[in-house]
Structure 1
Amino acid sequence: MQLRIEESIIHQFYQNDGQVGLRLAPSALTEDDQLHDLLVELTDVYTSKPAKGYASFIKEGEEGEPGPFPEQLTSWYDGQLDFVEFSQQSAKLLLEELQNYNLLEAGFLLVTRYQHISTEYLLVCFLPVKEGVTINPDLAVDRSSQLDITKVQLAARIDLTEWKTAPESERYISFIKGRAGRKVSDFFLDFLGCTERLNSKAHTQQLVDSVQEYAKQSELENEQRQALSKAAYEYCDDQWKQGDTVKIKDLSEQFAEAYPAEKSFESFSKDFAEQNSRELVDDFPADKSTLRKLVKFQGQGGGVSVGFDHTALGERVHYDAATDTLTINGTPPNLRDQLRRYFGIDS
């Protein structure tokens, strides 16, 4: 990834007698290969997180507390605060939130301003730590603390360029959404003083439903329906990998070239949204996990988990709606080996 670090700093949060403490860095980090590699790895991990939310700062008159972070950010960006002071104020604010939520989180707060292509970003990220074992210079075993980059859950990226040029936008802040049942992202949004505006998961599900219904009403053959869904998946997946949004108009044009129809997909999706009392968004960031529904059937419950590609339906997999029975011809090799060993059948 081609990125240029402008300013970066790390502050430490530690546990002490059941309390969380803060150690502030007195100066910004010197840019070197190690810092650059860390940021590249972190941005790669952040980008690859399948579930992200999109937000903007809470405005006056809206429900919720905007908090001091947006004001601090403005003061720094306008030159009234230097970067170190801004980051220290942010760290103190995060400490207050940790104490308010009674959370004992040990780790490091990374605040980085960087440029990628022509866009300027501010990455605010809480880096968790893990205990590990290493070999010291005396060739003895020693314990050490290491950053656990892959386990990052508290992170937000502010598109500073969009924030300044299009303040009315509702998605110049992206953040990692917490796992089901955990409200870690809510806590981090409170710290930043922003609120989620765009539900990418819901909009992606609406797209999936629209594509499937469009293929059905267009009376396409089964193979054509599968090809249409696959084309939609590949387009959306490419947009997701590039960090770009899904544009209904572009997808509609692709469909029109491959499968000309009386009604365009763009027009159909608008009617479909109205019929189902849904909001239609012309472009939106896709949710990776929901996108898979375009090309894969999967589900679990009652101790059973099943998943297979759309192309397998009617070939290796058959479904009888009358009896609600799924028949699979030929099991995956690893599953077959487990079953044969369980029943004592020689391979």
Structure 2
Amino acid sequence: MQLRIENSIIHQFYSHDDKVGLRLAPEALPEDEQLHELLEELTQVYTNKPAKGYASFLTESDEGDSGPFPEQLKQWHGGQLQFVDFSQQAAKLLLEQLQNYNMLEAGFLLVTRYQHLSTDYLLVAFLPVKEGVSINPDLAVNKSSQLDINKVQLAARIDLTEWETNQDSERYISFIKGRVGRKVSDFFLDFLGCTERLNSKSQTQTLIEAVTEYGKESDLEPQQRQSLNAVAYEYCDQQWKQGEDVSVKDLSQHFEQAQPQELSFEDFSRDYAKQREAELPEEFPADKSTLRKLVKFQGQGGGVSVGFDHTQLGERIKYDVATDTLTIHGTPPNLRDQLRRYFGIDS
């Protein structure tokens, strides 16, 4: 990944006596190999996060107060505010949010402006730390704190190029939607003064439902419908990996090549979404975790968790609708070994 770093700085947040404190860096970081490695690892982790939200800054028509961050960004971007001053103001604003939400988070705030593929980005990320041990040159064991990049949950990336050229856009800000609940997302959105505009998870779910119904309406056999789902998954997954939007028109063309039908998927999906009052834009970023439903059945509850590929239904796995019973022929080796040991059967 070729990144050109323009500005970068790190501020520290620490907790002491049930309070959170802030240590401001007085100057930007020098551009060196270590900084590039950190940013490349962070952007890779950010890109690979399966669930992201898409937002834009609050406007006068929105409810709520946008706070000072958008104005500070304008001043810095317009040359009225130095990068270090801008980042320090952002850190102080984050400190207020941490105090308001009573979150005693220790870590580091990284603010970086960089360019990738002719696009200008501002990445704002809260880097958590983890305790570990290291061996010093004297071969003694030392306790140390290290950045835990893989556990980053508070991060947002502002597409400065799109923000500058198309402020009516509703998705020039992307952010991580963590698994710990909406509170974290709300907290970080409040800090940035923006609101979520585009729900990629919901739109991806609508697309999956449309694909399923399209197969039924086209009177396709189960195997043909599975093939259609596989085509959809392969295309959408590839778009996700490349950081590109899913295009309903392009997907329709893929279907036309794989399973030609009288009614195109593009026309069908438009009517499907309208009838169900669901949102399905012509182009949108896919949600990685939701996409798996195209090729895999999975669910859990009552102490049971089950998951299997669509292609196994009717083959190794049978489902009896009348009795709501799944019959599995041939268990996975690791599960089989556990069961045999449990019943005292020699493997």
Fold shared per TM-score above 0.5: yes
The aligned counterpart of 1:214 is 214
Percent identity reads 76
Amino acid at match of 1:157: R
Amino acid at match of 2:73: L
Q: Which runs of 5+ in 2 are unaligned?
A: none
Counting matched residue pairs gives: 347
The aligned counterpart of 1:303 is 303
The answer (yes or no) to whether the contact 2:76–2:86 under 8 Å persists in 1 is yes
Per-residue deviation, residues 102-146 of structure 1 (Å, max 9, x unmatched): 111100000000011011100000000010011111111110000
Amino acid at match of 1:81: L
Q: Distance in 1 between matches of 2:295 and 2:61?
A: 43
The aligned counterpart of 1:46 is 46
Q: Distance in 2 between matches of 1:264 and 1:295?
A: 21
Q: Distance in 2 between matches of 1:57 and 1:182?
A: 18
Q: Where do residues 1-347 of structure 1 align in structure 2 (5 Å cutoff)?
A: 1-347=1-347
The answer (yes or no) to whether the contact 2:18–2:104 under 8 Å persists in 1 is yes
Greater CA deviation, 272-281 or 5-14?
272-281
Per-residue deviation, residues 205-237 of structure 1 (Å, max 9, x unmatched): 000000011011111122211111001001100
Q: Which runs of 5+ in 1 are unaligned?
A: none
Amino acid at match of 1:140: A
Q: Distance in 2 between matches of 1:15 and 1:280?
A: 44
The answer (yes or no) to whether the contact 2:207–2:280 under 8 Å persists in 1 is no
Q: Distance in 2 between matches of 1:233 and 1:338?
A: 33
Amino acid at match of 2:24: L
Amino acid at match of 1:11: H
Amino acid at match of 1:62: D
Amino acid at match of 1:203: Q
Q: Distance in 2 between matches of 1:117 and 1:288?
A: 23
**Offset of 1:280 from its aligned partner?**
2.5
The answer (yes or no) to whether the contact 2:206–2:279 under 8 Å persists in 1 is no
Q: Distance in 1 between matches of 2:297 and 2:222?
A: 15
Q: Distance in 2 between matches of 1:194 and 1:282?
A: 24
SS in 2 for 1:305: strand
Amino acid at match of 1:234: E
**Offset of 1:279 from its aligned partner?**
2.2
SS in 2 for 1:28: coil
The answer (yes or no) to whether the contact 2:53–2:200 under 8 Å persists in 1 is yes
Amino acid at match of 2:195: T
Amino acid at match of 1:145: S
**Offset of 1:180 from its aligned partner?**
4.7
- Provide the alpha-carbon RMSD of the alignment: 0.8
Q: Distance in 2 between matches of 1:277 and 1:37?
A: 46
**Offset of 1:182 from its aligned partner?**
5.0
Q: Distance in 2 between matches of 1:264 and 1:216?
A: 14
Q: Distance in 2 between matches of 1:222 and 1:61?
A: 48
**Offset of 1:343 from its aligned partner?**
0.4
Per-residue deviation, residues 158-189 of structure 1 (Å, max 9, x unmatched): 00011011110101000001215351111000
Amino acid at match of 1:235: Y
Amino acid at match of 2:92: K
Q: Distance in 1 between matches of 2:60 and 2:221?
A: 53
Q: Distance in 2 between matches of 1:182 and 1:190?
A: 12
**Offset of 1:312 from its aligned partner?**
0.3
Amino acid at match of 1:317: I
SS in 2 for 1:183: helix
SS in 2 for 1:270: helix
What TM-score, normalized to structure 2? 0.99
Q: Distance in 2 between matches of 1:286 and 1:94?
A: 30
Greater CA deviation, 175-184 or 304-313?
175-184
**Offset of 1:275 from its aligned partner?**
1.4
Amino acid at match of 1:95: L
Amino acid at match of 2:75: S
Q: Distance in 2 between matches of 1:344 and 1:183?
A: 47
Amino acid at match of 2:247: K
Amino acid at match of 1:19: K
Q: Distance in 1 between matches of 2:284 and 2:248?
A: 9
The ranges of structure 1 where at least 4 consecutive aligned residues each deviate by more than 2 angstroms after the TM superposition are none
Q: Distance in 2 between matches of 1:60 and 1:137?
A: 59
Q: Distance in 2 between matches of 1:345 and 1:12?
A: 57
The answer (yes or no) to whether the contact 2:122–2:160 under 8 Å persists in 1 is yes
